[in-house]
């Protein structure tokens, strides 16, 4: 192991080739514990019927030949994009405030940021029912302020779900962003300001590009997590919003159509991976320009 770690220092410094010795331990673990189950899933998807008696592409053609399922894919990805957009919009300002704060306030902020992770998904769904319900906290506040006469319906809507996901996923965006922001060189920010750039310009031209690796890491985690958040999607989103994870659950445990569930799972995997690779590509594009 020491030799492997030693290679790392050189590897990251010269950085030309993948150091396979370092990638091997995780790679082999995945090969046994992930690639093999994945291959089984792929195999099952080529059964034509729920009873798994005939081979064929029927499950694939049924899934991709039906406009409803295409819309479910689209809605799932859209939900991921909304979650990334909402967490980004709130996480960057929070990270900037964090950076500007003194050590004491920073400690409090870190605790606040970690809080959503400390409430289990089970009880969190209850909290969101309380907040978003017709007689819930948001509606009582809005009506108390006279902003709306009739209660808004937020529970079991896409808007309500995105709000809830924003809270749940925000730590996934903030933790990588904060670590990168702490590594950022303050001199560059000061220099930009000293040269007369406005705060907005400094943010977009200096802070944003420097912290992009952190954002990409965060966005990757948020996107992956929001698109697969089965419990939040079904309890807060309700039965009128159908996303891929709920479909997979129905097909694999209620009607036992495993080939169809496998097709839906692989579709989720590949579409979300494509989204994540696009994020990575964006990162390299930004770095080279």
53-61, 142-150, 277-285 -> range binding another protein (CB under 8 A): 277-285
Nearer Cβ to another protein (172/189): 172
Number of residues that bind another protein (CB under 8 A): 138
Cβ pair 268, 227 in contact under 8 A: yes
Exposure string of 203-227, with b = 16+ CB inside 10 Å and e = fewer, is: beebbeebbbbbbbbbbbbbbbbbb
Give the separation between CA 83 and CA 179, rounded to whole angstroms: 21
12-20, 53-61, 142-150 -> range binding another protein (CB under 8 A): 12-20
State the burial class of residue 22 (Cβ atoms within 10 Å of its Cβ: 0-12, 13-18, 19+): middle
Interface of this chain with another protein, residues 19 to 48, rule: CB under 8 A: 19-23, 25-27, 29-30, 33-34, 36-38, 40-41, 44
Q: How far is the CB of 276 from another protein (least distance, A)?
A: 6
63 binding another protein? (CB under 8 A): no
Distances (CA, A) of 211 to 82, 106, 108, 176: 21, 18, 22, 10
Helix ranges (H only) for the chain are 2-14, 20-30, 36-44, 58-64, 67-100, 103-118, 121-132, 137-144, 158-183, 186-194, 199-202, 208-228, 230-235, 244-249, 258-288
Give the separation between CA 258 and CA 96, rounded to whole angstroms: 47
Q: What angle do CA 39, 42, 43 make, to 5 degrees?
A: 85
Interface of this chain with another protein, residues 67 to 96, rule: CB under 8 A: 68, 89-94, 96
53-61, 142-150, 270-278 -> range binding another protein (CB under 8 A): 270-278
Interface of this chain with another protein, residues 165 to 204, rule: CB under 8 A: 166-167, 170-172, 175-176, 178-180, 182-184, 193, 196, 198-200, 203
Interface of this chain with another protein, residues 141 to 170, rule: CB under 8 A: 155-156, 163-164, 166-167, 170
Q: Which two tokens stand for residue 162?
A: 């995105």
Nearer Cβ to another protein (68/145): 68
Q: How far is the CB of 243 from another protein (least distance, A)?
A: 10
Nearer Cβ to another protein (37/56): 37
Nearer Cβ to another protein (79/248): 248
Nearer Cβ to another protein (56/107): 107
Cβ pair 166, 87 in contact under 8 A: yes
Nearer Cβ to another protein (149/254): 254
Judged by CB under 8 A, the residue of 79, 131, 189, 206 near another protein is: 131
Q: How far is the CB of 49 from another protein (least distance, A)?
A: 11
Give the separation between CA 130 and CA 141, rounded to whole angstroms: 13
Q: How far is the CB of 198 from another protein (least distance, A)?
A: 5
Cβ pair 208, 283 in contact under 8 A: no
């Amino acid at each position: 192991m020491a030799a492997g770690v030693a290679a790392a220092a050189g590897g990251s410094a010269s950085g030309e080739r993948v150091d396979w010795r370092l990638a091997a331990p995780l790679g082999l673990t995945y090969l046994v514990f992930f690639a093999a189950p994945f291959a089984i899933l792929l195999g099952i998807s080529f059964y034509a019927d729920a009873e798994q008696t005939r081979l064929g592409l029927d499950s694939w053609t049924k899934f991709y030949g039906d406009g409803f399922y295409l819309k479910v894919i689209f809605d799932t990805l859209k939900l991921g994009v909304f979650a990334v957009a909402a967490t980004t919009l709130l996480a960057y300002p929070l990270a900037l405030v964090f950076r500007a704060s003194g050590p004491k306030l920073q400690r409090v902020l870190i605790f606040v940021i970690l809080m959503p992770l400390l409430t289990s998904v089970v009880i969190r769904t209850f909290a969101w029912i309380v907040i978003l319900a017709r007689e819930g906290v948001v509606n009582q506040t809005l009506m108390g302020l006279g902003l709306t006469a009739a209660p808004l319906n937020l529970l079991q809507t896409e808007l309500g779900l995105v709000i809830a996901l924003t809270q749940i996923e925000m730590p996934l965006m903030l933790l990588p962003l904060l670590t990168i922001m702490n590594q950022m060189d303050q001199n560059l920010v000061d220099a930009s300001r000293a040269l007369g750039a406005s705060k907005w310009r400094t943010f977009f031209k200096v802070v944003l590009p420097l912290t992009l690796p952190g954002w990409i890491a965060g966005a990757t985690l948020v996107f992956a997590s929001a698109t697969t958040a089965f419990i939040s999607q079904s309890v807060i989103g309700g039965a009128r919003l159908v996303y891929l994870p709920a479909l997979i659950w129905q097909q694999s445990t209620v009607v036992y159509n495993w080939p169809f569930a496998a097709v839906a799972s692989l579709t989720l995997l590949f579409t979300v991976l494509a989204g994540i690779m696009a994020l990575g590509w964006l990162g390299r594009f930004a770095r080279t320009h």
